[in-house]
Amino acid sequence: MVVSILGSQIIGIIPLGDIVFYMTSFNLFMFAAALVFTFIIAISKTETQIEAEFGSLGDREIKVAKKEFKFRRFLAIICGLATAGAMVTGDLFDFTLFVCLIGIVNIGIVGAVKQVDVLDSAFQYGLIAMIASTPLFVGASLILAATGTISILAINSLTYTTPMMLFGSILLFLGVAGETGVAPFFATKAEMFRTPGSPFLLIIHLSSLLIIVRVIEILLIINKPF
Amino acid sequence: MNLMLNILLNVFIAFFIGSILIGLQRKIMARIQGRPGPPVIQHLLHTLKFFIKESAFPKTAAMPFYVAITAMLFVIWVAAVIDGPVTEGSLLLIFAIYTIQKIGEHNAGSSSGSPYGKMSCVRAVYSAAAEVPLFAVLIIIYLKAGTMNISSIINYQSIHGPLLFTIPLAAIMFFVLILSKSQYSPFAITKGKDIVSGYETEHFGLLRGYLMISESIAWYMLLWVFLTVFLGPLSLPAYLIGMVVLSAIVAFINAVTPILNPNHSVMMQVSFAFIGIAGSIVLLMI
């Protein structure tokens, strides 16, 4: 049987017990992009940030220490794999868990640096991410309560949208927005990018944007058009 | 036509027309500002020139990440051409490609170690927060047409008329997004001249050539998506005329508007996005 999601045909599914991964051209592209970036991050060195020295004509080099580098690289790889998983999962609860994991490792990636401003912003982002986990899981629970399933494929075959599904979707979106630190929560997160370690910062940005794109797909599947 | 040939032809057309349109923009802007301006083919010549220039790599760069990011930018825009004009596939996929392009901007800047690149990187994070909601205009298209497939959206418009007239606010939102991506726009904070060339500052030779090819294809693709999803089935001359008209309008706005500071730029784009999404949903419900 040919199953299509938002006009794209499903290329294949990977059933892992209750959790089913599915792939359309859209999911496959995002999954591949997340994996390629993760691989590049895993093999890359960090840049040396050059800043003007105060009170003299010299330059100051800011580098990432080896111990810090190893720790941040490990977390960046975990973040990349979690992002790739979130791109293809067909289980709503599984998706929320991936999003939570991404929020935690994002804080860890910048938590290892020794710049006070960056740590401050990571702390504020951490608070928002923790608060956002409530609407995230409540949203998924309400969708489960309203539809009787957390399988995105099963929800795709429903022909109706109830007000409770819409309310659950709004909470889910708020949760994802807080966890990934996008607008209107981006102000704290942008400051985190001032630290050196470009490849690791990439994965923070990449995970946020890809998760937002994926959640839009999920919300469009749950909420049918007018 | 053979698929591979079709892809190569479309990528070449996207690069060539995109380059000429960017050159045209600069020419129109110059004439409005009372300058002779560069020739229309200047951007194209610049791009080709970089492929025969020596490539230099900063010793502070994050290797091989610094090189890979330019290749990734090029590859994703080629993927956009395949998903768009070649196969008329998923509109959602073009949204995904656009977000990855924002990541490319961010990391092309930060990977060099230059303070100008770093500043552009931080601004790219800000601008992503504003441009991604603007691209969410695609949700409105889905709510109206009931599909995210480009060929189905074209079919929908051939029956019901252009979406430009049924969801005008969404079209305005998408136009603001196109404006944001033009080189001298009031929203082009990642490439403001106060930070030299932004994320491109420390990329030379071949790498800069790839960045410029991506820029040309990106411009062509954004115009193509706008014309396709808001005006429906168009002939080739109509596409060309549409692209020239849109580029001329953008050039006029850029010529008479100064670049905004990052906070104002983001707030203005977010306001456009909010008004566009909320207004379109209200219009759809009435």
For residue B145, CA distances in Å to A157, A193, B159, B161, B221 come to 18, 39, 11, 11, 21
Average pLDDT score, chain A: 82
Helices A66-88 and A198-222: angle between axes, nearest 10 degrees: 20
Average pLDDT score, chain B: 85
* A-chain residues near B92 (CB < 8 A): 6, 8, 26, 213, 216-217
* pLDDT at residue A1 greater than cutoff 60: no
Per-residue model confidence (pLDDT) at position B167? 85
What amino acid occupies position B255?
A
Per-residue model confidence (pLDDT) at position B273? 83
Q: Tell me how long chain A is.
A: 226
For residue A95, CA distances in Å to A19, A86, A137, A214 come to 10, 5, 10, 10
Per-residue model confidence (pLDDT) at position B228? 92
Per-residue model confidence (pLDDT) at position A42? 85
d(CA A166, CA B281): 14
Spatial neighbors of B47 by CB under 8 A, at least 6 apart, are B19, B209, B212, B213, B216
* A-chain residues near B125 (CB < 8 A): 186, 189-190, 193, 205
- Confidence bin at B115 (pLDDT 50/70/90): confident
Q: Cβ–Cβ contacts within 10 Å for residue B193, how many?
A: 10
How many beta-carbon pairs under 8 angstroms link A with B?
Answer: 157
* pLDDT at residue B241 greater than cutoff 90: yes
Question: Does B60 sit within 8 Å of A47, measured CB to CB?
Answer: yes
Per-residue model confidence (pLDDT) at position A3? 67
What is the DSSP secondary structure assignment for residue A51, as one 8-state letter?
Answer: E
Which residue of chain B has the CA closest to A39?
A: B65
Q: Which domain holds residue A36?
A: 4-222
Tens-place pLDDT, residues B221-232: 999 999 999 987
Contact A139, A93 (CB under 8 A): no
Per-residue model confidence (pLDDT) at position A10? 79
* pLDDT at residue B277 greater than cutoff 70: yes
> DSSP characters for A193-217?
TTSS-HHHHHHHHHHHHHHHHHHHH
Per-residue model confidence (pLDDT) at position A158? 82
Rounded mean pLDDT, A124-140: 88
Per-residue model confidence (pLDDT) at position B96? 84
Spatial neighbors of A205 by CB under 8 A, at least 6 apart, are A193, B102, B103, B106, B107, B125, B128
* pLDDT at residue B197 greater than cutoff 80: no
- Confidence bin at B179 (pLDDT 50/70/90): confident
d(CA B215, CA B181): 9
Contact B123, B190 (CB under 8 A): yes
Q: Which residue has the higher pLDDT, A87 or B266?
A: A87
Phi-psi region of B161 (alpha: psi -120 to 50; beta: other; left: phi over 0): left
Per-residue model confidence (pLDDT) at position A190? 65
Question: Does A36 sit within 8 Å of B129, measured CB to CB?
Answer: no
- Confidence bin at A226 (pLDDT 50/70/90): low
Weakest mean pLDDT among A9-13, A196-200, B15-19, B173-177: A196-200
Tens-place pLDDT, residues B28-38: 999 998 899 89
Question: Does B114 sit within 8 Å of A50, measured CB to CB?
Answer: yes
Q: Which residue has the higher pLDDT, A184 or B100?
A: B100
Question: Does B147 sit within 8 Å of A49, measured CB to CB?
Answer: no
Chain B segment 17-46 residues within 8 A of A by beta carbon are none
d(CA B196, CA B185): 15
Question: Does A183 sit within 8 Å of B103, measured CB to CB?
Answer: no
* A-chain residues near B111 (CB < 8 A): 47, 198-199
Tell me whether B72 touches chain A (CB under 8 Å).
yes
Query: From the CA of A169, how many Å to the nearest CA of chain B?
Result: 14
Question: Does A209 sit within 8 Å of B128, measured CB to CB?
Answer: yes
Rounded mean pLDDT, B43-67: 84
Contact B158, B233 (CB under 8 A): yes
Rounded mean pLDDT, B46-54: 87
Query: From the CA of B240, how many Å to the nearest CA of chain A?
Result: 28
Query: From the CA of B50, how many Å to the nearest CA of chain A?
Result: 24
* pLDDT at residue B20 greater than cutoff 80: yes
Contact A65, A98 (CB under 8 A): no
Rounded mean pLDDT, B208-224: 90
Query: From the CA of A187, how many Å to the nearest CA of chain B?
Result: 8
Q: What is the 3-state secondary structure (H, E, C) of chain B?
A: CCHHHHHHHHHHHHHHHHHHHHHHHHHHHHHHCCCCCCCCCHHHHHHHHHHCCCCCCCCCCCCCHHHHHHHHHHHHHHHHHHHHHHCCCEHHHHHHHHHHHHHHHHHHHHCCCCHHHHHHHHHHHHHHHHHHHHHCHHHHHHHHHCCCEHHHHHHHHHHHCCHHHHCHHHHHHHHHHHHHHCCCCCCCHHHCHHHCCHHHCCCCHHHHHHHHHHHHHHHHHHHHHHHHHHHCCCCHHHHHHHHHHHHHHHHHHHHHCCCCCHHHHHHHHHHHHHHHHHHHHHHHHC
Per-residue model confidence (pLDDT) at position A83? 92
Weakest mean pLDDT among A93-102, A180-189, B52-61: A180-189
Rounded mean pLDDT, B94-109: 81
Tens-place pLDDT, residues A19-69: 788 888 888 888 998 899 899 888 887 777 777 778 888 877 777 777 778
Chain B segment 101-160 residues within 8 A of A by beta carbon are 102-103, 106-107, 110-115, 118, 121-122, 125-126, 128-130, 132-133, 136, 139, 142-149, 152
Rounded mean pLDDT, B140-166: 86
Question: Does A45 sit within 8 Å of B76, measured CB to CB?
Answer: no
- Confidence bin at A189 (pLDDT 50/70/90): low
Longest dimension (CA), chain A: 72
Provide the domain count of chain A. Answer: 1
Which residue of chain A has the CA closest to B137?
A: A216
* B-chain residues near A110 (CB < 8 A): none
Contact B231, B242 (CB under 8 A): yes
Rounded mean pLDDT, B73-77: 89
Query: From the CA of A205, how many Å to the nearest CA of chain B?
Result: 7
Identity of the residue in B132, B142, B144 whose CB atom sits nearest the CB atom of A220: B142
Chain B segment 204-243 residues within 8 A of A by beta carbon are none
Which residue of chain B has the CA closest to A38?
A: B65
* pLDDT at residue A7 greater than cutoff 70: no
Rounded mean pLDDT, A156-185: 83
- Confidence bin at A196 (pLDDT 50/70/90): confident
- Confidence bin at B185 (pLDDT 50/70/90): confident
Q: Which residue has the higher pLDDT, A47 or A168?
A: A168
pTM: 0.85
The residues spanned by each domain of chain B are 11-285
Per-residue model confidence (pLDDT) at position B225? 92
Query: From the CA of B125, how many Å to the nearest CA of chain A?
Result: 6
Rounded mean pLDDT, A192-216: 81
